[in-house]
Each structure stands twice: as structure tokens, then as C-alpha cells.
Amino acid sequence: MRPTIKALTVIRYGDDVARTLAQLAQLVSGKVVGDASVEIVAVNTLEAAGPNEISFLSNPKYQRQLQTTRAGAVIVSRDYGEAPHAALLQVDDPYFAFRQVMVEVYGFRRQPGGGVHRLANVSPTATLGEGVTVCPFATVEAGATVGPRTVLYPNAYVGENATVGADCVLHANVVVYDRCILGDRVTLHAGTVIGQDGFGYATHGGLHQKIPQIGIARVCDDVEMGANCAVDRATLGETVIGKGTKFSDLVAIGHGTVIGEHCLLVAQVGIAGSVTLGKYCVLAGQVGIAGHLKIGDQVTMAAKSGVINDIPSGQTILGQPAIEINKAKKNYVAFVQLAELREKVRQMERRLAELEGRK
């Protein structure tokens, strides 16, 4: 199913130290079926992995590749007992074990270091924590605070009186508007904007008259956002992105909206203003939520859902308008045969008229 992927020729993040499968098994509390002494130097896909590489199987869709992979070892769930060529590393949660091995072998991107570059623009009234990196063409405006070890890539912008916590990474061209607040360990990918004015106008005399947007946007600890997202500042109070929540790319959040902790928002999701979203919600790609709605905890929304009502906790929804997923799926099954249904009704009407004609 997967396309052929060329072998990794990239410079590795990692240390190029070989680890035995036995060592990795210990790391992930797994059980080896096969040769535990095989030396692992890299992680790769089932298709591309070679004898000294480890792969993983977590999506059953790729199950058949277990038969053909040339990987030296494969991380699998406890359900899988053997593979023709690879040793197996059985674990409770293959995807999480894969993550643990990735971190062990590669670690994370090495961030640039070296203090404040001479071509950076840091206000004399800004406060920089210990070990902060400000790359060329990055700006920290007056009164802003940047916490220890935080990295500002080139062209990143921290506005007046804004606060960025410790160990944050603001990639190239990230913008944090005045007075907005980022917690600790926040990662914002390139082009993401926090705290632009919300879409607030009072229409009067034929003109859309701008309402000062004096609130802020607050991004809590451990949030990560993809590229080119946009989070409005609140008119009053705060737009909040809860702790541990992750966005993919091109996500738009309206003013005054509060996103709970540990949510996942996939690419191109758009949430209007004054929405409350609970904890552990998962919003698939291109979902839209109308303004002023209250969404509970652990709500899951299928891709492209259009949400126009409050949704209680725990529900999974689908569709436009979005409704409970099982009901929605039945409707969709009927929908893709709707033309046939209409034709059937027409035929039935003729039969009915004929019956009525019999007297």
C-alpha cells in the first residue's frame, strides 16, 4: 500500500550507537521473539528497513508487510507471534514503544544555541532568561519576557509585554502579539501567529466598526502547534489553548475560545469565537465549530464535521450538521443511495395509484 520510500540518507539526529534488541526490549518492557542479540542502529518503515533497523506495526492495515519486511526487528502488539525474517518485540502498546525507541535512538532536534545574535533585535527593557537563544532577525519587544533556554528562530517576533515561558521553541517567522502569554515547553512551528486581533466589529451606519481587542491569547504548557496556525486574541479576557494540547497545520481559533487540556486538532480545523472545548477532544481535519458552543470532554469529531450544537462529553460525532456517529453513518449509507431511494419511491407511488384505481 505504502509507496516505496528511499532509504534514509539524511544526517541523523542520533548518536549512531548500536543497541541490541535485548537492550531495546528492556527500554520498552517488551518480550523478544527471535534473536535478541541483533544490533539496531536505526528505525525505519516496514518497507524500507534493513537488517540492522527496527520497525513497528501498529496500524493493522500494514499487517501484510510483516511477511515481507527485511527489518532486523519489528515492534508488535502481543497478538503477533512470528515474522519470516524479523525478530519480534512484543509490547502492550506498539506505537508508544516505537516512540520510546525513536527518542532513544534519535532524540529530538538539536536547537541552535549561542545567545543573542548581533543581528537580533532585543529591546533593552525585555527580560531574557538564562540560556535564551535569539537568532538573527528575531525581535523581542519592550517589556517582553522570554524564559530560560527558550529558542527564537530567525524572524520570530515576540511583541510588547508578551511573555514566553521556559524551554519554548518558536520556529522561523512565528509571531506572538503584544501581551500574549506562552507557558513552558511550548513549540510553535514556522509561521504560526498567536494573538492577532479577533474578528470583532459592530456594524453601524453601514460600516463594520472595529472593536478594540484588549484581551489576550494564552497558550499553556506543553502545547505544540504546526505551521501557519492562527489564534485570535480575546476581545475581553483570554483565548486559551489548554495544557498539552497539540495542533497540526493551518488551524484557526476564534477570539475568546477556550480549548481544554490534551486535545488534538488536526490540520485546517477552524473554531469560531467564544467556544468552550473540554479535555481530551480529538478534532479531525477540516472540522468547523460555530461560535458560542460548549463541547464536553473526550468528544471526537470526524473529519469535516460541522458542529452547530453543544455536544455532551464522550460523544463521537460526524457530518454537517454533526450528529452522533452511528446515526450519521446510517444516514450516509442511505445518502449514497439516495437517488435509488427516490426512484423506488416514484415506482411505489405508481403502484399505489394503480392499487387505488382498482377500487
Contact 241, 224 (CB under 8 A): no
Contact 306, 322 (CB under 8 A): yes
Residues 265 to 304 in contact with its own copies, rule: CB under 8 A: 266-268, 270, 272, 274, 276, 284-286, 288, 290, 292, 294, 303-304
Q: In this chain, which stretch among 21-29, 32-40, 64-72, 326-334 interacts with its own copies, using CB under 8 A?
A: 326-334
Closest CB 315 distance from its own copies, rounded Å = 15
Active-site residues: which are they? 255
50 binding its own copies? (CB under 8 A): no
**What residues between 112 and 151 interact with its own copies by CB under 8 A?**
112, 117, 119, 121, 135-137, 139, 141, 143
Asked whether 253 and 274 are in contact (CB, 8 A), the reply is no
DSSP assigned state of 116: B
Give yes or no for residue 13 binding its own copies (CB under 8 A): yes
Closest CA to 232 of 251, 210, 209: 251
Which residues, numbered 198-227, are part of the site for its own copies (CB under 8 A)? 199, 201-204, 206-212, 214-216, 222, 224, 226-227
Contact 257, 281 (CB under 8 A): no
Interface of this chain with its own copies, residues 52 to 111, rule: CB under 8 A: 59, 61, 93, 95-96, 98-99, 102-103, 106-109
| Complex with its own copies: residue 37 or 321, whichever CB lies closer | 321
Q: Is 184 in the site for its own copies (CB under 8 A)?
A: no
Q: Which of 129, 131, 296, 306 binds its own copies (CB under 8 A)?
A: 306
The full 3-state SS of 1-26, as one line of letters, equals CCCCCCCCCCCCCCCCCCEEHHHHHH
Q: Which of residues 230-269 bind its own copies (CB under 8 A)?
A: 230, 232, 234-238, 240, 244, 246, 248-250, 252, 254, 256, 258, 262, 264, 266-268
Quote the least distance from Cβ 342 to its own copies, whole Å.
4
What's the rounded Cα separation, in Å, for the pair 75 and 97?
7
Stretch of 10-18, 20-28, 72-80, 82-90 contacting its own copies, by CB under 8 A: 10-18
Q: What is the CA radius of gyration of the chain?
A: 26
Residue 347 Cβ vs its own copies, minimum distance, rounded to whole Å:
9
Identity of the residue, 18 or 352, whose beta carbon is nearer to its own copies in the bound complex: 352
Binding residues for its own copies, rule CB under 8 A, total 140
Q: Where are the beta strands (DSSP E) in 174-263?
A: 175-176, 181-182, 187-188, 193-196, 201-204, 207-210, 216-219, 224-225, 230-232, 238-241, 246-247, 252-253, 258-259
Angle between helices 94-106 and 21-28 (to 10 degrees): 120
Cis peptide before 321 (omega within 30 of 0): yes
Q: Which residue, 23 or 58, is less far from its own copies as judged by CB? A: 58
